[in-house]
């Protein structure tokens, strides 16, 4: 799966990591729904760090279509709220 982090670029991520990422996504979704700013910031940072850690960066000139788009690390709670679906940021 190709994941884009807004403002950073893309990484290739094995589907086997989705379960681990979905746990963080569930936490993030709950924090957004509850308006928990500090919790939201911590979990968003943790989620993006995990994607960076587990993923393999694609070259800057790569034009792969992104299957998943995540907000940048400086996204606000309201901006992330606008990106959420019923499944959060990460489907599944």
Print pLDDT tens along the chain (92 aa). 999 999 999 999 999 999 999 999 999 999 999 999 999 999 999 999 999 999 999 998 888 899 999 999 999 999 998 888 888 888 87
Domain membership of residue 88 (yes or no) is no
In angstroms, rounded to a whole number, what is the distance separating the alpha carbons of residues 39 and 14?
27
Domain membership of residue 31 (yes or no) is yes
Domain membership of residue 24 (yes or no) is yes
Domain membership of residue 90 (yes or no) is no
29: nearest Cα among 19, 18, 39 = 39
Domain count, the chain: 1
Domain membership of residue 91 (yes or no) is no
Q: What is the pLDDT of residue 32?
A: 93
In angstroms, rounded to a whole number, what is the distance separating the alpha carbons of residues 7 and 59?
14
CB neighbours of residue 87 within 10 Å: 12
Domain region containing 22: 2-83
Domain membership of residue 61 (yes or no) is yes
């Amino acid at each position: 799966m190709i994941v884009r982090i807004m403002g950073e670029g893309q990484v290739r991520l094995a589907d086997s990591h989705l379960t681990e990422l979905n746990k963080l996504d569930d936490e993030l979704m709950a924090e957004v729904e509850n308006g928990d700013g500090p919790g939201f910031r911590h979990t968003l940072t943790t989620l993006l760090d995990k994607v960076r850690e587990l993923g393999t960066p694609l070259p800057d000139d790569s034009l792969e279509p992104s299957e998943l788009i995540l907000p940048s690390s400086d996204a606000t709670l309201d901006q992330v709220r606008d990106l959420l679906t019923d499944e959060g940021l990460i489907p599944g």
